[in-house]
């Protein structure tokens, strides 16, 4: 019980530096472990020395993103709402929201599996698979991912419910469980049982089931505020609106992320499998600084939500200021190191000279993008935590809406160079949009505090 009480103490009154460390460091470690998890998949497929399989897994990345999107829709919407309810001591209502989030995640995962089975061929074509071999590998990977997709949706939703009351260590433990299981299942399914791309997907599904079981166990037996959440499902329309006004913005963010990935795949595949593989490797490496920043931003969401709900504006502003400094330090350090050792890093995944050459160039553009992505994620987290549905939605759609004309224009004028740099340019503009919205948000809360 003391550990759970201390979680609320950190949200409420501990020093900002100590609180950010308590909330964000476990989350950053967990997110980094998740990145390692994605790198592991590419590494074991890479050992098979089959570029078509690596291409299929790269083309299939949007599927994980779709499943994560639904998990984040319920998790971000429900989790931030639960924190605000806990701050107001509305514990029974918070339990009902947690129960609704749990069951809605399961139902959406099953519905996605049914829809994907009915439309798998057009889905695979949209993802950019062209040759018969790549199409078959992509189809096998996709079906396995969708059939077990309920576990990924549930895992992402539950992780954010756990974190809603400040239990960042427990959130991290769940991510560790997922990665540890992946380390066992990946070599078993890919190298020993020879399931190739099906093995990658199956490993991911089982790993997410493992971490979901842990989160359910924690919430039902150790959580201070949410024990018994699993008995609840029905909530009021008002509470559903509160969940979805933030959750839908998270879903839109991912929908546009999928659109950008599909556009990227379709443009890059015209330049050959080496370019697609190069993008796949570079994107996985760049996920490390992006996930570190995301871990920090997600970690402090309960801190922002709690103090915004209690109208503690001094603590709120200091939290945001220190978080921004952390983002700058973390992103800047990793991006610098990754740039210096980019050739050695890519060489770990592919010995193909053409993949190594183009991969280095792609990584340069992606690393610059990652610097701005850290602040974009922070701005989005601030708006979600404080229940700013309009600002959250603007941040969610800006990147996707901008990317579509940007990549088309740059591709037409600069070819492959335009495709590679289109994401970087879009990320910079999105970050500037977030800064403008944050200035408006700061003015609004300052004005309200004076009234």
6 pLDDT more than 60: no
Angle ∠(28,262,340) on CA atoms, nearest 5? 45
Q: Contact 88/305 with Cβ under 8 angstroms?
A: no
Mean pLDDT, residues 178-197 taken together: 87
Mean pLDDT, residues 219-240 taken together: 89
> For 165-236, where are the alpha helices, taking DSSP H only?
168-186, 196-221
Binned at pLDDT 50, 70 and 90, residue 292 comes out as: confident
Residue bearing tokens 């495709």? 419
Q: Please, what's the largest Cα pairwise distance for the chain? A: 67
CA distance 86 to 47: 48
Residue bearing tokens 């700061």? 442
CA distance 442 to 222: 37
Mean pLDDT, residues 388-398 taken together: 86
The values of phi and psi at residue 70, to 5°, are -70, -40
Nearest to 186 by CA among 210, 203, 207, 206: 203
Q: Contact 301/384 with Cβ under 8 angstroms?
A: yes
Which range, of 93-102, 124-133, 167-176, averages the lowest pLDDT?
A: 124-133
Mean pLDDT, residues 148-156 taken together: 93
Binned at pLDDT 50, 70 and 90, residue 4 comes out as: very low
Highest mean pLDDT among 204-213, 255-264, 339-348: 204-213
* Helix 237-268 / helix 273-299 crossing angle, nearest 10 deg: 150
434 pLDDT more than 90: yes
Question: What is the predicted pLDDT for the residue at 168?
Answer: 81
Question: What is the predicted pLDDT for the residue at 259?
Answer: 78
Question: What is the predicted pLDDT for the residue at 295?
Answer: 79
36 pLDDT more than 50: yes
Question: What is the predicted pLDDT for the residue at 34?
Answer: 62
Mean pLDDT, residues 193-217 taken together: 91
Which residues does 16 contact at the CB level (< 8 Å), separation at least 6?
A: 315, 318, 319, 322
Binned at pLDDT 50, 70 and 90, residue 5 comes out as: very low
Nearest to 209 by CA among 167, 172, 246, 181: 181
Question: What is the predicted pLDDT for the residue at 388?
Answer: 84
Question: What is the predicted pLDDT for the residue at 2?
Answer: 41
**pLDDT tens column, 295-337:** 788 788 888 988 888 888 888 889 999 999 988 998 889 888 8
Rg of the chain in Å (alpha carbons): 21
Mean pLDDT, residues 356-379 taken together: 89
H or E element, residue 275: helix 273-299
**pLDDT tens column, 354-367:** 888 888 888 889 89
Mean pLDDT, residues 101-120 taken together: 92
111 pLDDT more than 50: yes
Mean pLDDT, residues 71-78 taken together: 90
Question: What is the predicted pLDDT for the residue at 35?
Answer: 61
Token pair listed for 328: 């700058």
Percent of the chain clearing pLDDT 90 (strictly above):
27
Q: How many helices (H) and strands (E) does the chain have?
A: 18, 0
3 pLDDT more than 60: no
Binned at pLDDT 50, 70 and 90, residue 158 comes out as: very high
* Helix 301-309 / helix 2-12 crossing angle, nearest 10 deg: 70
SS3 at position 166: coil
Q: Contact 181/210 with Cβ under 8 angstroms?
A: yes
Q: Contact 105/70 with Cβ under 8 angstroms?
A: yes
Highest mean pLDDT among 139-148, 208-217, 285-294, 402-411: 208-217
More confident residue, 70 or 299: 70
pLDDT, mean over the chain = 85
Nearest to 219 by CA among 208, 231, 204: 231
What residue spans define the domains of the chain?
A: 12-450
31 pLDDT more than 70: no
Which residues does 234 contact at the CB level (< 8 Å), separation at least 6?
A: 96, 100
CA distance 360 to 279: 10
| Terminal Cα-to-Cα distance of the chain (whole angstroms) | 39
**pLDDT tens column, 435-444:** 999 999 988 8
Mean pLDDT, residues 274-301 taken together: 80
Binned at pLDDT 50, 70 and 90, residue 193 comes out as: confident
Which range, of 124-133, 203-212, 321-330, averages the lowest pLDDT?
A: 124-133
- Other Cβ atoms closer than 10 A to 17: 11
């Amino acid at each position: 019980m003391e550990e759970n009480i201390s979680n609320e103490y950190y949200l409420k009154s501990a020093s900002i530096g100590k609180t950010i460390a308590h909330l964000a460091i476990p989350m950053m470690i967990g997110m980094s472990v998740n990145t390692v998890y994605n790198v592991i998949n590419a590494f074991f497929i890479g050992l098979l020395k089959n570029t078509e399989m690596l291409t299929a897994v790269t083309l299939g990345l949007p599927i994980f993103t779709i499943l994560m999107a639904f998990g984040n829709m319920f998790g971000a919407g429900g989790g931030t709402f639960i924190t605000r309810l806990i701050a107001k001591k509305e514990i029974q209502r918070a339990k009902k929201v947690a129960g609704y989030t749990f069951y809605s995640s399961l139902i959406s995962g099953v519905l996605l599996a049914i829809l994907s089975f009915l439309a798998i061929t057009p889905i695979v074509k949209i993802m950019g698979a062209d040759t018969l071999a790549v199409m078959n590998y992509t189809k096998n990977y996709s079906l396995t991912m969708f059939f077990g997709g309920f576990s990924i949706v549930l895992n992402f939703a539950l992780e954010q419910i756990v974190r809603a009351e400040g239990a960042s260590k427990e959130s991290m433990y769940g991510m560790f469980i997922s990665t540890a299981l992946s380390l066992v299942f990946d070599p078993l399914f890919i190298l020993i049982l020879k399931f190739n791309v099906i093995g990658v997907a199956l490993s991911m599904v089982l790993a997410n089931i493992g971490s979901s079981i842990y989160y359910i166990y924690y919430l039902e037996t150790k959580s201070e505020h949410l024990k018994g959440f699993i008995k609840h499902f029905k909530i009021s329309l008002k509470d559903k609106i509160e969940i979805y006004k933030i959750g839908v913005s998270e879903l839109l963010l991912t929908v546009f992320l999928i659109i950008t990935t599909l556009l990227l795949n379709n443009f890059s595949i015209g330049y050959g499998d080496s370019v697609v593989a190069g993008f796949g490797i570079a994107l996985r490496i760049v996920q490390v600084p992006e996930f570190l920043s995301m871990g920090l931003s997600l970690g402090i969401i309960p801190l922002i939500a709690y103090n915004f709900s209690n109208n503690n504006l001094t603590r709120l502003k200091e939290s945001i200021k220190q978080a921004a400094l952390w983002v700058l330090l973390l992103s800047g350090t990793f991006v610098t190191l990754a740039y210096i050792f980019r050739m050695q890093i890519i060489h770990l995944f592919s010995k193909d000279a053409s993949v190594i050459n183009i991969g280095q160039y792609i990584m340069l553009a992606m690393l610059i993008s990652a610097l701005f992505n850290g602040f974009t994620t922070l701005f989005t987290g601030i708006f979600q935590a404080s229940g700013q549905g309009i600002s959250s939605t603007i941040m969610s759609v800006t990147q996707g809406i901008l990317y579509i004309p940007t990549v088309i224009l740059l591709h037409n004028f600069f070819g492959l160079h335009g495709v590679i740099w289109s994401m970087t340019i879009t990320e910079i503009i999105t970050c500037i949009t977030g800064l403008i919205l944050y200035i408006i948000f700061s003015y609004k809360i300052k004005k309200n505090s004076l009234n």
